Chain A
């Protein structure tokens, strides 16, 4: 082996290190954001409430990817597959077995955790672009697998399944859209708090140690294989729950809603929000939901190009995504306080 070969791997980190404390907003800011999210639906139309719900759901899926990539440093282009499994679990349980929609969420979570954990096993040996290709394969295969003939009785084949939208419980005077918004908000909030605590726990520190330097982590006694697959499992479970919520909100599941495009969108959402910064997930979700619409508004024929140019602008101005903006804001606020 030549000296050159030994040198290559040094200083070569796929995902930059984000310190544990820099992963979240401060308590005060978090509460203000939460209050805004709670009050807002009262003042807007149902369609906007629906869009806000989708924002939360995509935000949750981006958060899941962020735990995987920002937390454990593994790169995935296959999140749409886990999202699809979650969505289909909910749709099948609700339509074929009449299970209550709220109960389908934890079931989808468990199913996707198992799925992600098992997928993580062979993926263990792969890293970087090799892992990206493996997950990419999963994402391209998923729509085809959902169309398979022998599953058609359950999945509805190409046609997909229609999902019933739930009414607000206890006779609450709320539209279905509004109820679903608050329901999603509660779920997202619970998972967000869980994620923050997970990343601050012993397991979270193990994830980050693997992200920053796998060999050093294993030398310190971190069970690299276990924690890498665990990160995959947790990320898949959360993505699956997002998929469940998505199926309920859109009232429809079909194989072609869960293509590689969705996986790429979620990836872009993570980058725009800032890799490893959890609140950025919502900012990233807003980018992938609203910017394509905006691009369409600017020019119908060139919407793809406009989207690309906007994306370039964002990554030139803030290569670290929304996190960079938030940090700048914090510094400014700090200076103002001193003066």
Chain B
């Protein structure tokens, strides 16, 4: 039983990361209806920026704040410069654009910071949490930050004018435009916020997976899986999906014989597909009624 609780708690901790990543995926998906394949690389680049700032002598939280601002602006810039011209292009062309962005960021990060593995500090410390052996303070911190982030987003979308405008622009762009919302800028704002959320995910996971240009590969896949599992139209679902994927991944690795680390990912994905076959819109997604 102790092994079980242990694995569940560790699963919740990694799940917090997937939840952050899934949240970022859902943010962009809501704004532009695409899955951003470069999301993980963008988060990785932001994490490197914060690492560089700390190397230059900034404190953790100062670097954290500067990185968030940088990521927000960079996200908007990427949308304005690279993807706005593609707004009218076919969907699959946009996907190709994401893949191109992925290649560009990955390769540049490798050139600037090379591919050696770097240590990344944690602000929470790595001692056992509240004297328990089950999770470390860093893992508890990750869970706390994710929950705070989710609450902040909830208040932003529910109670601020601009949050309302963003929701309107995402769900019914034509009508939103008619009431005077600048939908094009709302998309850019969505990109900025998603990039900043991704940066938080990257900075939280870096102490666990270490910092290197390919660090987000696996995380992004789990993030996608979590977002799709929870429902791409629901930020809350994305977070729940993230925790579920984290827990399931750990339990499958522990209890299903012959799975081990190699087959963890395929098994997790297989589970998600089984869920989708039963509930095609995800656990919390909105079922869209189609018309001819």
B86 interfacial by beta-carbon distance below 8 Å: yes
A256 CB to nearest chain B CB (Å): 13
Query: Which residue among B35, B92, B95, B101 has the maximum number of chain A CB atoms within 10 Å of its CB?
Result: B92
Interface string of A147-159 (1 = CB under 8 A from B): 1000000000000
Chain A residues in 8 Å Cβ range of B272: 133, 137
Interface string of A242-262 (1 = CB under 8 A from B): 000000000000000000000
Q: When chains A and B are docked, how far (Å) is the Cα of A145 from the Cα of B266?
A: 9
Interface secondary structure of A, over-half rule: helix
Q: When chains A and B are docked, how far (Å) is the Cα of A141 from the Cα of B265?
A: 8
> For the side of the interface on B, what is the size category?
35 or more
Interface positions, chain A 113-163, Cβ under 8 Å from B, are 122, 125-127, 129-130, 132-134, 136-137, 140-141, 144-145, 147
Known: A122-B277, A137-B272, A144-B266. A132 touches B35 (CB 8 A): yes
Chain B residues in 8 Å Cβ range of A329: none
Residue of A nearest to B278 (CB): A125
B93 interfacial by beta-carbon distance below 8 Å: yes
B2 interfacial by beta-carbon distance below 8 Å: no
Q: When chains A and B are docked, how far (Å) is the Cα of A30 from the Cα of B224?
A: 42
Interface string of B59-99 (1 = CB under 8 A from A): 00000000000000000000000100110111111011101
Residue of A nearest to B274 (CB): A122
A-B contact count (CB 8 A): 152
B172 in contact with A4 (CB, 8 Å): yes
B103 in contact with A130 (CB, 8 Å): no
Residue of A nearest to B269 (CB): A137
Q: When chains A and B are docked, how far (Å) is the Cα of A312 from the Cα of B172?
A: 29
Known: A8-B171, A14-B91, A271-B92. A308 touches B102 (CB 8 A): yes
Q: Tell me which of A41-49, A185-193, A211-219, A330-338 binds B.
A: A211-219
A102 interfacial by beta-carbon distance below 8 Å: no
B24 interfacial by beta-carbon distance below 8 Å: no
Q: Tell me which of A19-27, A86-94, A175-183, A315-323 binds B.
A: A315-323
Q: When chains A and B are docked, how far (Å) is the Cα of A129 from the Cα of B97?
A: 16
Q: When chains A and B are docked, how far (Å) is the Cα of A302 from the Cα of B35?
A: 25
Residue of A nearest to B171 (CB): A4
Q: Tell me which of B137-145, B155-163, B203-211, B284-292 binds A.
A: B284-292
Q: Tell me which of B48-56, B105-113, B128-136 binds A.
A: B105-113
B81 CB to nearest chain A CB (Å): 10
A312 in contact with B276 (CB, 8 Å): no
B205 CB to nearest chain A CB (Å): 20
Q: Name B276's contact: one of A15, A125, A216 (CB within 8 Å).
A: A125
Chain B residues in 8 Å Cβ range of A312: 82, 97, 100, 104
Q: Name A271's contact: one of B93, B101, B225, B269 (CB within 8 Å).
A: B93
Residue of B nearest to A314 (CB): B96
Q: When chains A and B are docked, how far (Å) is the Cα of A306 from the Cα of B290?
A: 41
A137 in contact with B270 (CB, 8 Å): yes
A310 CB to nearest chain B CB (Å): 8
Beyond the given A125-B280, A308-B100, could you list 12 further A-B residue pairs with CB under 8 A, ordered by the A residue number? Answer: A1-B289, A10-B291, A133-B273, A141-B266, A267-B96, A271-B93, A302-B111, A305-B107, A311-B97, A312-B82, A315-B96, A315-B100
A140 in contact with B266 (CB, 8 Å): yes
Q: Name B273's contact: one of A129, A134, A144, A315 (CB within 8 Å).
A: A134
Q: Name A5's contact: one of B33, B92, B228, B289 (CB within 8 Å).
A: B289
Q: Name B280's contact: one of A14, A130, A214, A264 (CB within 8 Å).
A: A130
* Complex A-B, nearest 9 residue pairs according to Cβ-Cβ distance, in ascending order: A304-B107, A137-B269, A141-B266, A308-B104, A319-B89, A308-B103, A311-B100, A308-B100, A305-B107
Chain B residues in 8 Å Cβ range of A32: none
B291 in contact with A129 (CB, 8 Å): no
Q: Name B172's contact: one of A7, A129, A137, A144 (CB within 8 Å).
A: A7
A309 interfacial by beta-carbon distance below 8 Å: yes
Show 14 A/B contacts (Cβ-Cβ < 8 Å), sorted by A.
A7-B172, A129-B29, A130-B228, A133-B269, A133-B273, A133-B276, A136-B221, A140-B266, A144-B262, A301-B110, A304-B104, A307-B100, A309-B104, A315-B96
B111 in contact with A301 (CB, 8 Å): yes
B263 interfacial by beta-carbon distance below 8 Å: yes
Q: When chains A and B are docked, how far (Å) is the Cα of A259 from the Cα of B217?
A: 13
Known: A215-B292, A303-B107, A308-B104. A315 touches B277 (CB 8 A): no
B219 interfacial by beta-carbon distance below 8 Å: no
